[in-house]
Structure 1
Amino acid sequence: MREHTFRVTVVGAGAAGTLTATRLLEAAHEAGARVALTLVDPAPGTGQGVAYATQDSRHLLNVPAGRMSGHPDRPDDFVRWLAGHGSRTVGAGEFAPRSAYGAYLAAGLDEAVARYGAGALRRVRERAVRLAGPDGDATQRIALSSGAVVDADAVVLALGAGAPGLGWVPGRLRGHQHFVSDPWRPGALDGVPADTDVLLVGTGLTACDLALSLARPGRTVHAVSRHGLVPYVHAGKPAASGPLPGPPAADLAGLRRWLAARAAYHRRVHGDWRPAVDELRPHTTALWQGLPATDRDRFLSEDLRLWEVLRHRLPPRTAAALDAARQSGQVSVRAGVVADAEPSPGGVRVSFTDGGTGCFGAVVNCTGAEASVRRSEDALVKDLLATGTARPGPHDLGLDTAPDGRLVAADGGARRPVWTLGSPRRGNLWETTAIPEIRVQAIQLADSLAKECSRIIR
């Protein structure tokens, strides 16, 4: 029998880490187990992460509030919370500010601490940089940037999506004072001049949010990407999607034909193609895992961008504001690829592969999280790969995991008590970056850890 309390360290205090910590306190209480929980993240807040740290009220969730509960068994939980923390009632079909969701997650953890584990949670505002200790040790040692060490019996890596990729950035642009490599870093946009044009590289959800933040009379925010595609908008009144009419094909060509046929059907019946994409949502992981590896590679190289703009859609209010900004000339969107950049008076002169050029007061990286885990600049991820504690996931996406989320080591084993959830499981699961998937993973992982805690101590 072990005398000490079961120690769990969660690295990352964004949505995935906060949901895991909240459920773990509840599950340990239900199991009658003693748990000491440490939440490690340098961010000043909890529950925000990259996704929900913005304080710009124009940045909205891209999923209706009624589908954003952190608890699958209480689907109206977020809507009810909003009703008690705002000046008006927010409907289930509305798109709430992203900052409100971060506050909701933090409040849920605070409530769990008060109800189930007063004194059981320690918040460490430092960056985890290394997982130390021999492979066979029962104690996992998490080294922090300060040199301190946190010991744990189990570790959960809630690392989020990671920093934006830099593979496209010309050498002379890297480190330039007018280049914003990560627009979600606190204060990253403070140095953007107010009276000059700005270039956003990327035209996805991040670029749409930043275009609204940076647009103003007297300048143009230029957004470019290889295809120049902007996310589609959510329907004002979504049509209900039903069960799939038979299993889709198990190869990429068949899936393309199936989706085109379903989109045509929904246009004919509902006047809207969107249910064809939405009805796939519960099945995307199984479809991804059922595709041959060669077909998954083809999807990533040929279909990914179109899928992203169809699947990850804009709130109607955001789309309307963006359209207005484009019509007024404050925002411009086009296809383009950056070829080179050089300093110019007050900013950067950028050359594009089509021969065009432009001068900008700032260039902002809106290309999204780095796709390849091997190119990650995160110190902890680099250490996990270098030591063989983890290996890249399929197609170099995220980290390879066992079905329960435990890290798979370089030799193919899954022995260490180290788990992950959310974005790092993308290679194995594909659909794993949104709250409906993350909340289920958090519950399953927390319940498993609570049972292990109870078994060991008793």
Structure 2
Amino acid sequence: MSLNYPFRLRVVIIGGGFSGATLAWQLAEEQVPVRISVVEPRPELGRGLAYSSGEPCHRINVPAHRMTMQPERPEDFMHWLVRGRASGRLETDPEEITLQGEHFPRREIFGRYVAERLAPHLQSGRIRHHRARVADLAKAIDGSFELMLSDDSRIRGDILVLATGHPPTALPRPLAELRDRPQLIGEADDPARIASLGKDARVLILGAGLGSADVVARLDRQGHEGPITCLSRHGLRSRGHVPAGGESRADFTDPPIRRASKLLRRVRDAVVDDEAQGQDWHATFHRLRAQGAQIWAGLDQCNRARLLRHLRTLWDVHRYRLAPQVEAVLERRIVEGKLSYVAGRLVEVEGQGATVRVSWRPRGGNAAEQADFDAVINTTGPAQGRTIESNPALWALARLGLIAPDPLGLGLATSQTCQAVDAAGMANPRILIAGPLARGHLGELVGAPECAAQVGAIAREIARQALLVPILRPVIVSTGGATANPT
């Protein structure tokens, strides 16, 4: 009788957007001895909602030289892009390069980069793509998971990786009146509905972040000339990029910051110091972004909640920048008087035949204001409070007590090693959290560079567990050739 170790951990990644696809690719590239399955209904892995857009004005909002699937090679995408342009394999895009020489290609191009990196492993069968959704799942006696898919097939996994990304957008309560009316576009990624708007339509966009800017850019490219109003709580819009300058000397980790108010004061001081050195606030925020995980780790739950409550909007509009091409569209329309930003709270929405009458209470005011619009477009962002209930796979795991919501409402409760924390507060090494679902633990986990680094840590954790399999689950081979794999 002898021992050998043909058993491989079955890793099932639920969600094949950027985070899930990058994890699968890293596991395959590093030849981690596991079986990799990705459950994703879209025809291609890696695109998700962001990079599946075929809209030519939708561009990545991070310079190409900082986008990558492999953190140790931050310019991988840039090299792929330059080679593709030089060879003619990628069509030219005269608007891609800014005056400062930075590349901001269309998002679809980045999705193509991810798909090409994955292609060899999909063709070889190293990565298996199940084009379906998880309808339900159950936990087996041996601790593995059985997943029932929407195409009526079933697969098993020893390790689950939850990479479902952001939950869908929810309609603000006042919009319930318009739910079934043609004037409401409830999802910003509805190109057919947006394309159907008249050239002179009066448009109200709820939200002023990146999603809002995408809609304005799309309408502008379509030749829309009517007035656009963006209504949000603070009336602040996302900022653009500036030419790269020197690095900030600020340090937000030494000494560690324990209070949200202390962080705010230190940021303000850093901006003043950077300006004295010829930099602007962009340099300060680059530093904040780089040290974000350490800053977040130094705050307790109370101060994390305080930070989100009072400073989240300011962080979002400074941190999540617009591609320069999109910012130029916004600036032009503002100058033309065709785009305005209003700070206020939505109060009431009422259908008026072919138009919509909207009432809002201005920020700092008491008396409501109102105006008529031909269309209302919702870009208020993911409904973080509905992360679990909006996804059947997460709902099934929560029903079994295997996962729990993050206390701050940012995703799922996650341990220091990206393991899911269950309803009893215990970390489960068989369920790992990848991408934005782990924001509550890491604080900053939305951009592709951060997600690539985080799934790299998950890949290492899976590799560690895979190395233990021969010790914990050896396969006994008899001299007659029969095998038994004890559970």
TM-score, normalization by structure 1:
0.90
Q: Which amino acid aligns with 1:240?
A: E
Cα deviations by residue, 1:206-264 (Å, 9 ceiling, x for unpaired) = 10111111133441222110111011221123332346274353211211111100000
Deviation at 1:140, TM superposition (A): 0.8
Matches within 5 A, 1:15-54: 15-27=18-30, 29=31, 31=32, 33=33, 35-54=34-53
Shift in Å at residue 391 of structure 1?
0.5
What is aligned with 1:127? Answer: 133
Q: Secondary structure at the match of 2:291?
A: helix
| CA distance in structure 2 between the partners assigned to 1:234 and 1:374 by the alignment | 31
Q: Secondary structure at the match of 1:122?
A: strand
Q: 1:415 to 1:254 in 2, by over 3 A?
A: closer
Q: Which residue of 1 aligns with 2:59?
A: 60
In the TM superposition, what is the alpha-carbon distance from 1:420 to its structure 2 partner?
1.4
Work out the CA distance in 2 between the residues paired with 1:92 and 1:143: 49
CA distance in 2, matches of 1:444, 1:408: 17
Q: 1:232 aligns with which of 229, 235, 239?
A: 239
The CA RMSD over aligned residues, in Å, is 2.5
Cα distance in 2 for partners of 1:179, 1:381 equals: 29
Match of 2:212 among 194, 207, 212: 207
- Check whether the contact 1:373–1:392 (CA below 8 A) recurs between aligned residues: no
Question: 2:341 & 2:286 partners in 1: Cα distance?
Answer: 27
**Structure 1 stretches lacking a partner, 5+ long:** none
Using the alignment, how far apart are the partners of 1:263 and 1:395 within structure 2? 28
CA distance in 1 between partners of 2:357 and 2:278 (Å): 48
Shift of residue 202, structure 1, vs aligned partner: 0.1
> How does 1:280-291 map onto structure 2 within 5 Å?
280-291=288-299
Query: Out of 112, 119, 124, which is 1:103 matched to?
Result: 112
Structure 1 residue 296: deviation in Å?
Answer: 1.6
Structure 2 CA distance, aligned partners of 1:127 and 1:45?
Answer: 14
User: Is 2:445 aligned against 1:442?
Assistant: no
1:77 aligned residue: 76
* TM superposition shift of 1:346: 2.5
Q: Distance in 2 between matches of 1:433 and 1:175?
A: 32
Give 1:403's aligned residue. Answer: 416
**How many angstroms apart in 1 are the aligned matches of 2:115 and 2:263?**
40
Aligned pair partner of 1:336 in 317, 340, 344:
344
- Are residues 209 and 452 of structure 1, via their aligned partners in 2, closer, same or farther at CA, if it must alter by over 3 Å? same
SS for the counterpart of 1:285 is helix
1:214-253 to structure 2, matched below 5 A, reads 214-215=219-220, 216-242=223-249, 244=251, 246-247=254-255, 249-253=257-261
The answer to whether residue 272 in structure 2 is matched with residue 258 in structure 1 is no
Q: 1:352 maps to which residue?
A: 360
Distance 2:301 2:465 in 1: 35
CA change 1:8–1:194 in 2 (3 A) is: farther
Q: Which residue of 2 aligns with 1:365?
A: 378
> Which range moves more in the overlay, 206-215 or 436-445?
436-445
1:50-89 alpha-carbon deviations (Å, 9 max, x no partner): 2212112222211111111211222221111111333379
Q: Distance in 1 between matches of 2:373 and 2:391?
A: 29
Where do 5+ consecutive residues of structure 2 fail to align?
86-91, 363-367, 475-487
Shift of 1:185: 5.3
Residues 277, 162 of structure 1: alpha-carbon distance in 2 compared, 3 angstrom cutoff: same
2:479 corresponding residue in structure 1:
none
2:36–2:128 Cα contact (<8 Å) kept:
yes
Find the residue that maps to 2:419 and give its secondary structure.
Answer: coil
Contact between 1:60 and 1:97, CA under 8 Å: does it hold in 2? yes
Q: In the aligned structure 2, how far is the partner of 1:106 from the partner of 1:374?
A: 27
Using the TM superposition, give the Cα deviation of residue 431 of structure 1 relative to its aligned residue in structure 2, in angstroms.
0.9
Q: How does 1:109-120 map to 2 (within 5 A)?
A: 109-113=118-122, 118-120=124-126
CA contact (8 A) 1:373 1:397 kept: no
Is residue 14–residue 20 contact of structure 2 (8 Å, CA) maintained in 1? yes
Question: Which aligned pairs between 1:83-94 and structure 2 lie closer than 5 A?
Answer: 83-86=82-85, 87=92, 93-94=102-103
In the other structure, the counterpart of 2:16 is 13
TM-score scaled by length of structure 2: 0.85
Residue 324 of structure 1: aligned partner: 332
Q: Pick closer, same or farther for the CA change 1:187–1:7 going to 2, 3 Å.
A: farther
Distance 1:188 1:425 in 2: 33
Q: 1:383 to 1:432 in 2, by over 3 A?
A: same
Q: How many residues align?
A: 450
Aligned equivalents of 1:456, 1:177: Cα separation in 2: 56
Residue by residue over 1:257-280, the C-alpha shift from the partner in whole angstroms, topping out at 9 and shown as x without a partner, is 111000001111124121111112
Question: Aligned ranges for residues 167-182 of structure 1 at < 5 Å?
Answer: 167-182=172-187
- Aligned pairs for 1:129-144 within 5 A: 129-134=135-140, 137-144=142-149
Change in CA separation of 1:253 and 1:63 when aligned onto 2, cut-off 3 Å:
same
The verdict on how the C-alpha distance between 1:306 and 1:243 changes in structure 2, with shifts beyond 3 A counting, is closer
Are the equivalent residues in 1 in contact too, given 2:167–2:386 (CA < 8 A)?
Answer: no
Larger gyration radius, structure 1 or structure 2: 2
Give the distance between the partners of 2:137 and 2:122, measured in 1 at CA: 27
Letter in 2 for 1:11: I
